[in-house]
Structure formats: structure tokens, C-alpha cells
Amino acid sequence: MAASDGDPACREENPHRSKAYAGIGSRGTPPGVMAVIESVAAAFARRGCVLRTGASPGADQAFYRGARAGEGAVELYLPWPGFEADAWADADPARVRVMPRPTPRAYELAARFHPGWAEVAEDQRHLLARDTHQVLGADLASPASLVACWTPDGSIDGAGEGADGTRQALRIAHHWGIVVFNLARADHLRALTQAATG
């Protein structure tokens, strides 16, 4: 499905898709884009969409701030307990579900989708396994309704340059046929903003 094919937010026509979306991206996301991310995440939250993100600086934290501002539900996936705790220390347990570490199965899937897993350092493996949950949920069987992200190169399938964790999540999303909106692309930015506010 192309980014312009109607409103993809929180769709439930496909029983294998959840009401959650993944909000992820580069730690180097520009401030102007982060402002848009916060606005979009707040709008999705008000419509009942559940945010899945990972608490990394940059795009993840912008999605989190927006979802909290919209009083929405958040699934926060961490690579290890206490990761970036200052960014979510005020989390309301009634709205924010924190998964403190990836499951063993998440590491198996991460290894499958990462082309250089054997050379990846242990702390990076934790981060990459966390990315698997952002796309597929806590049970790794509930694919997100969509992935919203920002990467420098506008990738939608994980190819090319950019943050390794975001590329990993996009590879997984591509494999599962999940629509990706990369806000580095002007048409995706327009479409996602319209979907969130329409």
C-alpha cells in the first residue's frame, strides 16, 4: 500500500494487525521534524492509537512526548532496565506499559534480520532486539498497523544509510508488509499528517 492510499491509522480490518503503530527514527532527527512528530503522535493518541517506541533520544522521545500530550497509551520497549529513564520517569502506569528488556525470541528474530549480527556488540544487540518488539509487539505476533519514522535517507525498507536500529526495524516492517511513512519524504510527511488529523 502506498502512503497516499487513504487513512492507515489504527486500522483493524486485518485481524493480524494491531491498533498500535510504531513511532521510531534517528537520534539525529531535526528539531522541526520532531515538532511535527509530537503533533502527529498527539493526534493519533486522541484517536485511540497506541504508540510503540523505544525511548532513544531523537524521534523516539518526540513520539513519546506527543503521545503523552495526547493522553494516549504507550508501549515502551527498552533494551535494558533504566534505559534513558529521565525521558519517561514520569510515566503513568495506567497509560504507559514498560517492557524493560527484549525477550529471547526477539534476539532470534533480530539475528535473522541483521546482515552482520556476528559482528554486532552486545549492547547493540539489546537495542536491535528491542526494535523487533517495536514493530511486532510484546508477543512478536501483533504487527503494527504502520511505522512512522525519520531517517536521513528516507528509506522505507531498511536499505541504505542511516541509524542501524531504525534500518533494522524497517527491514522487519518490510518483511511483514507493514506500511512505512518516512517523514524525510515530503509526500509521506503530508500523508501522515493528514491521516493523523483528518
Domain membership of residue 31 (yes or no) is yes
- 188 found inside a domain: yes
Tell me, yes or no, whether 170 lies in a domain: yes
Digit-coded pLDDT (tens) for 113-167: 998 899 999 999 999 999 999 999 999 999 999 999 999 999 999 987 545 789 9
11 within a domain of the structure (yes/no): no
* Structural domain boundaries, residue 166: 20-197
In a domain, 13, yes or no: no
| pLDDT score of 14 more than 90 | no
Q: What is the CATH number of the domain that holds 141?
A: 3.40.50.450
Amino acid at 142: S
Instruction: Examine residue 77 and state whether it is found in any structural domain, yes or no.
Output: yes
Asked if residue 8 is part of any domain, the answer here is no
Q: In what order do the strands lie in the sheet with 147-149?
A: 96-99, 74-77, 50-53, 20-23, 147-149, 180-182
Cβ-contact 128, 168 below 8 angstroms: yes
DSSP-assigned beta bridge partners for residue 76: 53, 98
| pLDDT greater at residue 6 or residue 32 | 32
Mind listing the pLDDT tens digit for each residue in 89-106?
A: 989 999 999 999 999 999
Alpha carbons 55 and 30: distance in angstroms, whole number: 17
Has residue 193 been placed in a domain?
yes
Total of domains in the chain: 1
